[in-house]
Amino acid sequence: MIFSCGNPQPQPQPQGLIVETGNGASVLQLPATTLEQIRHIAADPGASTLRLPPPATELPVGARESDFDLCYVCKHCKVAFPSAAPLQTHQARSCYAGREALRGVIRVVQPALECRVCPGERFRTAADFRRHADTDSHLRRTAPSSQPAVPEPLSHEMEDVVNQITLLAARAAQDASPKDPNVTFCAPGSRFTQPGELPLASAGH
């Protein structure tokens, strides 16, 4: 059902808002309480914003809240438009022709769930987001890479090697000391030990 702006009359909207898409009209299903709020706000002059309830009480894993404009409603005839530009054209030609400064509009904001890893992917309900989270494209983006796990075991191995070399150098220096006081092992020590490590390596003797 399409409302005529040339003959505006209060009409009940039990099924939702009439949205003029440019290719015909469609019905936007909204709760009765929301429709009542829109009718109440329409009585106020100027621009107003109506934010709908959030889609979920708890955010699903991997989602974040992100509002988007659901539609723009003409306060005079209660017809909605998907964006501000066609609404302005409609009001300039019909409901507020010659008095654009007085035009009234309701911006209806829909809280949505946005995927943290898929740019631009937003969903109105948690169920819609979970369906997206099961898609191949999302799973490919969230699949852990095997490369970051490689350096960790290598770093432990390298640490063990350095510690073993340091310990061997320290022991060699201690074993050689009683035989010939003139023989020193400063070169290995300076190459493989760090300040404070030699006492720790010799603690086992």
What does the pLDDT look like over 157-174, one tens digit per residue?
667 766 777 777 777 777
> pTM of this prediction?
0.54
Q: What pLDDT does 37 receive?
A: 94
| pLDDT score at 145 | 60
* Confidence at residue 61, expressed as pLDDT on a 0 to 100 scale: 87
Percent of the chain with pLDDT over 90: 27
Residue 13 clears pLDDT 60, i.e. is over it: no
pLDDT at 92: 93
Residue 43: the pLDDT is 92
Q: How confident is the model at residue 15, as a pLDDT?
A: 61
pLDDT at 42 over 70: yes
What's the N-to-C CA distance of the chain in angstroms? 94
Q: Given this model, what pLDDT does residue 106 score?
A: 96
Q: Which residue has the higher pLDDT, 19 or 153?
A: 19
Residue 110 has pLDDT above 90, yes or no: no
